[in-house]
Structure 1
Amino acid sequence: MQNLKWKKFYIPVEIKNNFNIINKAITDNYEAIVLPESAFPLFLNLHQDLMQKLKILSQKIVIITGALHYKNRKFFNSTYVFENGKVTILDKHLLVPFGEYIPLPFFEKEINHLFFADSSDFSVSKKFGEFKIKNYKFINAICYELTSEDLYKLKPNYVIGMSNLAWFNPSIMPSIQEMLIKIYAKKYKKMVFHSINGFKSQTIK
């Protein structure tokens, strides 16, 4: 369904599926739920109706989800954490070269024009994000960030990661990512909760 995910007519289906998953988790008495990267394929903070619904549901369950974030005329790939009616937004720190930004500043506009319909590069946060759930501290990681050794050097023992790997099916990329996560998680004694779109989600330690 990756070819439909970002189509305007299909976005309501994605949103409905997300809320069904969240409500089922509430029914099953889970304390928290982690949806994948870009689970909401839109600039979530610009849709106050959805934000309000998620804030209300977060009185019953902690909701961690991926979505786009628009701020100060900049675009971010972000994690939204809804808990007790409040939201924390953590923007991605490491972007994918040629996927989320063009690492050739002199040709950035030309390449975006030729291959990405004049879209702009994503912006980044100054550092990896961290957040708390019920007094437990987590490192935030979005897809490519999960393969960075620097992320695992941070002090919190827990990582919540989210990926949209449906783009890479079929591909060995998910296996390479999993291998690197296992190496770094073991080396730095981390527990990684990884929510994945297109492949089976994992807990790695």
Structure 2
Amino acid sequence: MLFLAPLYVGALFSGAPKFLALAESVLAPLSLWVCLRLNAKQRFLFGLFVGFGMFYWTALSFRYNTYPLLMPLIVLLVALCYGVLFYLLLFKQSLLYRVPALWLASYIHPFGFDWFVPDAFFAYSLFRVDKLSFLVVLCALALLVEKRLSPLYARIAAGVLLVCTLQMPKGTPPLKSVEPISTQINQADKWSVTTLKLNIDANFTLINQAIKKHQKAVILPETAFPIALNKSSLIPLLLKLSQDITIIAGGLYEEGKTIYNSTYIFDKGNYHYAHKVILAPFGESMPFPDSIANALDRFFFGPEVFKLGHAEHFSDFNTTALHLRPLVCYEGTSAKAYKNSPPYLVVISNNAWFVPSIEPFLQRMLLKYYARRFTKTIIHSANKSPAYILSPTLFGDQVFK
């Protein structure tokens, strides 16, 4: 489907930045052009395919719970959700309806899930990524779709509008002395008692290797330490190593009966932590009233399910290496996380739940969109997908495999 071409072509050519920029500069506008031209009678079926093509991977996490046979049902429910969304977005054939509807689409978050951002298709294109430029592109495409206008004048006007939204491609000097880590731990082994010591020992090996390379900071993925790190005997050793390098790593934090998915920062013999603020809907929190949410938690995760807590606000830290805001996976793809933030955002993820799938590149596309939109540098450490540093300009990304 042409609408999804920016996502799938982008994933295929993510290692060729110049070709990717040219391809996305053509495919991203085409994806919107398809929406503007689509026959209104086909809008629900179109939404079904979009929902499946973009978000089929959300069901893959069910491989690791008690009900893996529910995966086809979850995929169908997700697709139906976006079928309804596009039924509304493309409800009328009128371009006066569709242009503002598509412009506002990124503000519509079914059940709090905010990964449907059509604007993000322009993340690796030559176009600007602010909301005004996105509206101008939609208006330019509408001129080309509207049959009542003179084809010649419509093309000239559309061309002028599109040129006005282009941005001179720039590069960013590489960020040195900071090493985001990509690990390769299968989800089935992530919480296994038999592999716990091996995985923790591997973390310390990676930290010591970064020290030998004279790095200023090393960043390990989400739940790199899959234990309540604040109550473990590992803290003294991490504090000692932090005299030589700033260590940023994911781990659990236990307080009473509440568990937090947190980022730990060890720097010059001290440590701090930041709890995750925005929990992923369904995976970490049920977007329903408590009575329904608790019943669903017990059904999917068993009667002994623990309560996952969250912080009320984001935390910023000024370490020896960076002035940063730590974010955990899903919250890194939320616009809320970028407001009033320092220049560097450190995002840690565990993508083992969803691979192999399109999810890692969709996440990268969203992160790149926010890096450009808010002029931030994003440092991403992940399990089961590449780590990278995303620059606020079109070119200059660094990938660590």
Check whether TM > 0.5: yes
Higher strand share: 1
Aligned-residue offset at 1:129: 1.9
TM-score by length of 2: 0.50
Letter in 2 for 1:32: A
Higher Rg of the two aligned structures: 2
Aligned residues: 204
> Please, which of 308, 333, 340 is the counterpart of residue 147 of structure 1?
333
Tell me whether 1:44 sits opposite 2:44 in the alignment. no
Aligned pair partner of 1:175 in 346, 361, 367:
361
Corresponding position of 2:8: none
Name the SS for the 1:77 alignment partner.
strand
Cα deviation, 1:59-107, whole Å, max 9, x if unaligned, reads: 1111000000011331100000001111101000000111111222122
Equivalent residue, structure 1, for 2:250:
66
Q: CA contact under 8 A between 1:112 and 1:120: conserved in structure 2?
A: no
Q: Secondary structure of 1:107's partner?
A: helix
TM-score by length of 1: 0.95
The structure carrying a bigger helix percent of its residues is 2
Asked if structure 2 preserves the Cα contact closer than 8 Å seen for 1:163 and 1:197, the reply is yes
Q: 1:162 aligned to 2:162? A: no
Q: Distance in 2 between matches of 1:74 and 1:189?
A: 35
CA distance in structure 2 between the aligned counterparts of 1:102 and 1:61, rounded to whole angstroms: 38
Give yes or no for contact 1:141–1:159 (8 Å, CA) kept in 2.
yes
Residue of structure 2 in register with 1:92 after alignment: 276
Equivalent position amino acid for 2:191 in 1: W
Other structure's SS at 1:9 match: helix
C-alpha change, 1:141 and 1:94, in structure 2 (3 Å) is same
Query: Do 2:257 and 2:306's aligned partners in 1 also have CA atoms closer than 8 Å?
Result: no
The answer for unaligned runs of 5 or more in structure 1 is none
State the superposition RMSD in angstroms: 1.2
Q: Tell me how far 1:135 sits from its aligned partner.
A: 7.2
1:76 matched residue in structure 2 = 260
Q: Which residue does the alignment assign to 2:297?
A: 112
Residue from 203, 206, 221 that aligns with 1:21: 206
Q: Counterparts of 1:123 and 1:4 in 2: how far apart (Å)?
A: 24
Rate the CA distance shift 1:191–1:21 in 2: closer, same or farther, 3 A: same
SS at 2:337's partner residue?
helix
Tell me how far 1:160 sits from its aligned partner. Answer: 0.7
Alignment partner of 1:186: what SS?
helix
The runs of 4+ residues in structure 1 deviating greater than 3 Å are none
Q: Distance in 2 between matches of 1:74 and 1:157?
A: 31
Q: Using the alignment, how far apart are the partners of 2:337 and 2:286 within structure 1?
A: 22
Q: Which residue is 2:178 aligned to?
A: none
8 Å Cα contact 1:102-1:121 kept in structure 2:
no
Deviation of 1:151 (Å): 1.2
